[in-house]
């Protein structure tokens, strides 16, 4: 059985979930996890969002220690640095997939 989280860690955990609680940031992370290191222009192109919006969210992800930035010339490249994100995404997405399949089965049975 999992250990109970100490009270002093509740706020940092809540902050981590707040960072992950934004669809744009999740889209950025999904893209970086799937494709590896990308620069801001590449993320803008793939996600169809403005450079300012992508940059703002990348800054939040970097401040949270989830991505790292590397500069090359005038371009800034980002990559996921938090190895727990893949596991977390697999857990959450897997559960959502199970729920959707169960709902589809229930719907088709009626």
Q: Which fold has domain 8-81?
A: Arc Repressor Mutant, subunit A (1.10.10)
| pTM for the predicted model, two decimal places | 0.85
Q: Any idea where the domains of the chain sit in the sequence?
A: 8-81
Strand partners, 77: 39, 70
pLDDT for 1 equals 44
pLDDT(18) > 70: yes
- Please, what's the b/e burial string for 31-53 (b: 16 or more CB within 10 A of its CB; e: otherwise)? bbeeeeebbbebbbebbeeeeee
Of the two residues 109 and 43, the one the predictor is more confident about is: 43
Give the pLDDT mean for 21-48. Answer: 97
Distance CA 21, CA 78 (A): 20
Element (H, E) at 65: none
Rounded to a whole number of angstroms, the distance between the first and last alpha carbons of the chain is 38
């Amino acid at each position: 059985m999992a250990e109970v989280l100490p009270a002093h860690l509740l706020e940092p955990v809540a902050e981590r979930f707040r960072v992950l609680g934004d669809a744009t940031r999740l889209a950025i992370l999904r893209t970086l996890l799937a494709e590896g290191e990308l620069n801001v222009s590449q993320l803008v192109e793939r996600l169809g969002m403005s450079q300012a919006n992508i940059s703002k969210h990348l800054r939040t992800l970097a401040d949270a220690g989830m991505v790292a930035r590397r500069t090359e010339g005038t371009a800034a490249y980002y990559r996921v640095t938090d190895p727990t994100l893949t596991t977390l995404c697999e857990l959450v997405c897997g559960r959502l997939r199970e729920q959707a399949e169960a709902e589809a089965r229930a719907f088709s049975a009626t």
